[in-house]
Amino acid sequence: MGRIWEKYLDERDLINYSTSGFGENYGVGNNPALIIVDVTYGFTGEEAEKIEESIKKYPASCGVVSWEAIKHIQALLRTARDVKIPIYYTIIEGYKNHSNDRVAIKGKIFDHPSLLEGEKGTMVVDEIKPVPGEIVLSKKKPSAFFGTPLLTHLITDKIDSVIVVGCTTSGCIRSTVVDAFSYNYKVIVPEECVFDRSITSHAINLFDIQQKYGDVVSTEKVISDLKLLQNKVKVNC
């Protein structure tokens, strides 16, 4: 079965990238962490409805595709908790008080009342809400690393690889992946666990991530790799 991005690319592009040696996979490291990026009501809406309806209440919503991804994130999250790897969440909150600072993207979307600090649009959806011991980091820019203590947590936990899920593929996921790669972490992106409001942007950014910054693989493979890692730890104990 082909990759999601293939129909958007010229055949020459696919040949040139593969011939040049791009797209190698590194796999999950020995001490991975899960980073769940911005899976909040502001990006998902409160139910699985068409994006045209969802953006009436939450202008940053990705609509139905977010709820499809949430199902896969739930499965991955269960495994991550079972194997006891560190789990981090990020949320984006617009400033409650007046500010000239831009939040997350160009424009004034995050000035919307539903997306301000403490409002429902900034809360992680109930289906994957954090449990005690899991860290939630508030951010104002795309990357989970920018302006947050995420890196210090990863260093403290001796993390060597990160599994990045959430939204949007072309924005906060991509910037988080690039920063993680820049800090020398192996990066894994479970394809079904990330989403975007644009299928074209979603596909092309997954292609770029796979070629240059991380492993874009199935959620099933990531779950399998985590279970194998747990078994390996048990054998070595």
Per-residue pLDDT of 147-194, as tens digits, reads 999 999 999 999 999 999 999 999 999 999 999 999 999 999 999 999
193 is catalytic: no
16: left (phi over 0), alpha (psi -120 to 50) or beta: alpha
Among the listed residues 62, 172, 193, 237, the single catalytic one is 172
Place of tokens 């919307």: 112
**Position of tokens 């991005």?**
5
> How many other β-carbons are positioned within 10 Å of the β-carbon of residue 217?
20
For the chain, report the end-to-end CA distance as a whole number of angstroms.
39
DSSP string, 17-32: HHHHT--------SSE
Domain boundaries, the chain: 29-201+210-236
Encoded amino acid at 124, one letter: V
Instruction: Copy the structure tokens of residue 62.
Output: 């990705």
Distances (CA, A) of 140 to 22, 34, 90, 105, 111: 32, 20, 10, 9, 12
43/66 Cα distance (integer angstroms): 8
Whole-model pTM over 0.85: yes
| The domain defined by 29-201+210-236 carries CATH number 3.40.30.10 | no
Report which DSSP code applies to 133: T
pLDDT score for 237: 47
Q: Which pairs with CB-CB distance under 8 Å and at least 24 residues apart come from 92-96?
A: 92/38, 92/40, 92/42, 92/122, 92/138, 92/139, 92/140, 92/172, 93/117, 93/118, 93/122, 93/138, 93/140, 94/122, 95/140
Element (H, E) at 89: strand 87-92
DSSP SS3 for 184:
coil
Residue at 47: amino acid letter: E
Q: Which residues of the chain have pLDDT under 50?
A: 237
